[in-house]
Amino acid sequence: MYENFLALYPEDAGDETRHATGYLPMEMMGGQELVALGAGKSFGGGIMRIHDIDQSRRAAILIGEAFPEYRDRIVPFAKDWLGRQFAIPTRKRTPIAGQVLLIEPGSGDAFVVDATLVDLFDREMVEDPDTFLAADLFSEWRLENSERIPAGKCVGFKVPIFLGGRGAVDNLEVSDEEVYWSLCGQLRSQVKG
């Protein structure tokens, strides 16, 4: 399980598992294996980070504030370098089988992906890395920025896409993840209002 993902995005050196206790619903195929594989660790030079239990809880709060329609209806399990969160949607605290959410603060959108956890990592992220991890932009950004992205940070858009910002390296900066999500959430609610 997760061999294809690991072959393309190996674990980053120096990351330590913080809280590898299970936090994904037990009935989620591949959930406990994902937690055991890399809770709290980053992969692929920082392109992806799997949440530990504390990061998952923090991400759920960020998502709920910026996307109130998902408050108490998701279990975040990972984020990419742009701070986009991957979460399992739930209904009455029961996971919705075969679906994953990709929630993007910079675009102000959330997308339903018809895939299991294993399919998301081992197929989607491997076969379509530009869509699921913005790998093309990551490679371009890495040419000018070799520093490691710490757990509480992300690379955010200076001007969010939903406000006309460009998906280009010159519109990116390392940001505190909570500040970035809060700002994008406030702007998103004003635009939607």
Q: 22: pLDDT confidence band, cut at 50, 70 and 90? A: low
> 29 falls in which pLDDT band (50, 70, 90)?
confident
CB 57 within 8 A of CB 72: no
Residue 173 in tokens: 């900066």
Question: Is the pLDDT assigned to residue 25 strictly greater than 70?
Answer: no
Percent of the chain with pLDDT over 90: 73
Report pLDDT digits (tens) over 37-49. 889 999 999 999 9
The reported pLDDT for the residue numbered 15 is 58
Q: 148-183, pLDDT tens digit by residue?
A: 898 899 999 999 999 999 999 999 999 999 999 999
Closest CA to 101 of 72, 129, 70, 131: 70
Q: What is the pLDDT of residue 20?
A: 58
User: Which residue has better confidence, 18 or 114?
Assistant: 114
Kindly report the three-state secondary structure assignment for every residue of 100-155: EEEEECCCCEEEEEECCHHHHHHHHHHHCHHHHHCHHHHHHHHHHCCCCCCCCEEE
Using one digit for the tens of pLDDT, what is the confidence trace for 103-151? 999 999 999 999 999 999 999 999 999 999 999 999 999 999 988 898 8
* Sequence ranges of the domains in the chain: 3-192
pTM: 0.93
